[in-house]
Chains A and B, each alone.
Chain A
Amino acid sequence: DIQMTQSPSSLSASVGDRVTITCRASQSIRNYLNWYQQNPGKAPKLLINAASSLQSGVPSRFSGSGSGTDFTLTISSLQPEDFVTYYCQQSYSNPYTFGQGTKLEI
């Protein structure tokens, strides 16, 4: 199975900050990497698929990059609604594992 390791697990930041979350796969997953945002008590929301493809309606302050084993999610200027939890997921091979999550805190 492919293991997905996210870092950090939690991150303290302020409104307006630029932050980067890292996701590392235990083997190459090419660009089969997705990023989700989850508000407490709600279903996850797909932000980015295929490592860097921003989904419709997602603000342009979110961006993704990487290929192979190392990936990043960057939020260029944090807004109050961004202080929630983020997950990466590989969709390269079954089982389609998620990272453990990164909680953004003010």
Chain B
Amino acid sequence: EVQLLESGGALVQPGGSLRLSCAASGFSFSSHAMNWVRQAPGKGLEWVSMIIGNGGNTYYTDSVKGRFTISRDNSKNTLYLQMNSLRAEDTAVYYCAKDLLSSNSGYNYWGQGTLVTVSS
């Protein structure tokens, strides 16, 4: 059974940092691109970042470039999102999501989400 379990969400002050983790199991982790998608309270879905299976390529939405870093440890089947210089507009539930195929194919498994609140 595929499982994705996020952790690391918290209340953080503007300008602060946070690292999210997503522990994966039940599939060949290194064979799939992984993504972070967020959803601000009462709003729609926003794709944040993607990393391909071997970690060699990463992609970001413009609003987080230079502040967020996606990474993965295939030996630990874990995905990360390092978030620095956090802003109020980063407040959201953050989901990790697995690509159906190697990449660019839709996300067939999602974690339960972890809440990041940026506020003073």
Report A's interface with B, CB cutoff 8 A: 1, 32, 34, 36, 38, 43-46, 48-50, 55, 87, 89, 91-92, 94-101
Contacts and interface: CB of A to CB of B under 8 A. Distances in A.
Contacts, number: 60
A98 B47 contact: yes
Interface of B: 35, 37, 44-47, 50, 59-62, 95, 100, 104-108, 110-113
Given A44-B110, A87-B45, A101-B45, A94 B100 contact: no
9 contacts: A36-B107, A44-B37, A44-B95, A55-B108, A95-B61, A96-B47, A96-B50, A97-B47, A98-B45
A23 B37 CA distance: 19
A1 B46 CA distance: 13
B106 A46 contact: yes
Contact of A91 (B37, B104, B110, B111): B104
A72 B61 CA distance: 25
Top 5 nearest A-B pairs by Cβ distance? A49-B106, A34-B106, A43-B110, A94-B59, A95-B61
A16 to B, nearest CB: 28
A46 B61 contact: no
Where chain A touches its partner, the secondary structure class is loop
B106 A98 contact: no
Contacts of B35: 96
Contacts of B47: 89, 95-98
A94 B49 CA distance: 9
Contact of B50 (A46, A55, A89, A94): A94
